[in-house]
Chain A
Amino acid sequence: MTEILWLGRGGQGAFTAAKILGAAYALNAGCHALAFPSFGPERRGAPVRAFTKLDHKPISDRSETEKADYIIILDDTLYSENLKNLLKSGGKILVNTRQAQAEQILPFDGDSLAKELRLPVVNTVMMGALAGVSGIVSIENLHQAIQNYMPEKIREKNKSAVQKAAEEAAAL
């Protein structure tokens, strides 16, 4: 099972990205996904977590991920060294930041790309970056999931974001 932990702030769309990723992966025959937010009251700006679990068999473990293959951080002020303890061996942290690369850490300047595309949040940019880095899901599937589950007026922008971020992140 591939487990992805999303960290963001209320309003950044961490859970939307977690859900779109799960929906995209599940489009392939025989592929299963679960996606859920950290539960409870929602507050704009407060740290939030979201989870995506991907597997080739139905997923019955609904508990929060204890060790992730990827941790995606939408706001680099949420980064702390301790997060490395939540990684499986070989796991990676993908951070929206202009800081330099470090061990187990893949920096990606999502803010600049989002600004260029006039997107107010970086959720789909970082989702595209994850696809580029990991190859766990195809761009075609992400585009289809955006088509199915995002409001019409923001679909095309977000599809571009996914495409461009995946291309840029492939070099990481």
Chain B
Amino acid sequence: MAEKFLSGDEAFAEGIRLACPDVISAYPITPQTIVVEKLSEMVEDGSLDAEFIHVESEHSALSCAMGASAAGVRAFTATSSQGLLYMAECLYYASGGRFPIVMMNANRSTALPWNIYGDQRDSLSQLDSGWIQAYAENAQESLDLALMSYYIAEHKSVSTPFMVNLDGFILTHTYEQVDVPAPEQAKKFLPPYETENKLDLDNPKNMAFSAGPDTNYIFKYKEHAAMLRAIPVIEEAEQKFAEIFGRKYTGLLDQYKTEDADYILITLGSIAGLCREIADSLRQNGIRVGVVRIRYMRPFPTEALAEAVQNAKALAVLEKDISFGNEGTVFTNICSALQGKNITAPVYDFIGGLGGRNISHQDIIAIFEKIQSGTANRVNFIGIEEGENT
């Protein structure tokens, strides 16, 4: 194990080196580019024994990774924003084909207006694509998820592709200390990929086939059931990870001072740290607040979330996303989960950070003030008063 000063992108590339994929196919796009650059350098200098295929588009990047996975080997790709949208067709092929590919997505705004900065509209638009979706908070978690994602995706009971999301720039381009495990340790954690879901001349089978109305629904049900089976596998992976590397993770979500909290803010990604700092400062003024960070949007933490917020008086969702004409997608998912658990505390949606706009200390304090006083709207755009800028 060595401590290094790395950006989120670099840390993720180190994690992928430790996971030893056989094939990497990718097309560079800001702010993911550094991951692809680093991996190509590792392949070039021989420290990563993989086939690096520089394809001509994101559609091809994932198609190529699927081909590799169908040949029975471990595959990796990475993208961002418009790149993710361009490969959208292939996302469904990969999940339907049950190819346990890992992809890093650098969360970035979607055009138009064109913008390279971070928000989460790209990956959240693909929640229904059948991929496991995790959101990292810092560079260490990024590296650790690179390793854990393969363990979970390739688990026999799961066999589902895995998208790890890093906030563009705020996480991908920020340098911090990261423990980089030794390759021997990584080998102890992650077994080699073995599958029967491959092209095998000795044992030929039909792959990537058609299924009509008589059987199609069974395949879809199986995808759903496999995604739900990922929940205990995530727990298993984290236990094994803690035993080997000494770092503990907390499953589908992470809780901070929620036990006695009257007001809880629920968010995801790299903004959670600032939210926890604000929670501490508000607690010094006697206001009992807590923070929930959703680590996995798929499978969704329905049970864990309901348990975490059951005693709160009011809840805020802070998300870098909007589904036009409705509300934030994270908010929709949360409200649905809580309604099923008969939690009746009011929930308010706060849309912030779109196109990379800074979410300040004061913005987060204002969220807590508004949900405490009950003056928030159901859906609130941070920085825009109702009726403005229409």
Contact = CB atoms under 8 A, between A and B. Distances in A.
B155 to A, nearest CB: 31
Given A23-B5, A39-B356, A63-B359, A34 B175 contact: yes
Contacts of A61: 273-274, 277, 361
Given A23-B5, A40-B116, A63 B174 contact: no
A57 to B, nearest CB: 11
B176 A40 contact: no
Nearest to B118: A39
Nearest to B174: A36
Contact of A34 (B174, B277, B356, B360): B174
Contact of B174 (A62, A148, A149): A62
A61 B359 CA distance: 11
Contacts of B169: 36, 39-40
B277 A60 contact: yes
B170 interface: yes
A36 B118 CA distance: 14
Contacts of A137: none
Contacts of A33: 5, 175-177
Nearest to A32: B177
B276 interface: yes
A63 B116 contact: no
B135 to A, nearest CB: 14
B358 interface: yes
A7 to B, nearest CB: 18
Contacts of A60: 138, 272-274, 276-277
A35 interface: yes
A36 B175 contact: yes
B117 interface: yes
Interface string B256-287: 00000000000000111110110000000000
Given A26-B177, A33-B5, A36-B175, A64 B358 contact: yes
A22 interface: yes
Contact of B117 (A19, A22, A39, A64): A39
B288 interface: no
B359 A36 contact: no
Contacts of A41: 116
A37 interface: yes
Nearest to B167: A62
Interface in A118-172: 145, 148-149
B2 to A, nearest CB: 10
B229 interface: no
Given A35-B174, A37-B173, A40-B116, A62 B5 contact: no
Contact of A22 (B175, B356, B359, B360): B175
A22 B5 CA distance: 8
B7 to A, nearest CB: 8
Contact of B273 (A22, A23, A62, A145): A62
A96 to B, nearest CB: 23
A37 B117 CA distance: 13
Contacts of A39: 31, 117-118, 169-170, 173, 356
A54 to B, nearest CB: 12
Contacts of B117: 39-40
Nearest to B169: A39
Interface in A1-51: 19, 22-23, 26, 32-37, 39-41
Interface in B336-382: 356, 358-361
B175 A62 contact: no
A35 B274 contact: no
B281 to A, nearest CB: 11
Given A39-B169, A149-B5, A63 B358 contact: yes
Contacts of B274: 60-63
Contacts of B276: 60
Nearest to A24: B5
Interface of A: 19, 22-23, 26, 32-37, 39-41, 59-64, 145, 148-149
Interface of B: 3-5, 31, 116-118, 138, 169-171, 173-177, 270-274, 276-277, 356, 358-361
7 contacts: A23-B175, A26-B3, A26-B177, A34-B175, A60-B138, A62-B271, A62-B273
Which 5 A-B pairs give the minimum distances between C-beta atoms? Answer: A60-B273, A23-B5, A39-B169, A36-B174, A35-B175
Given A26-B177, A34-B175, A60-B273, 6 more contacts: A19-B5, A22-B175, A26-B5, A39-B173, A59-B273, A60-B138
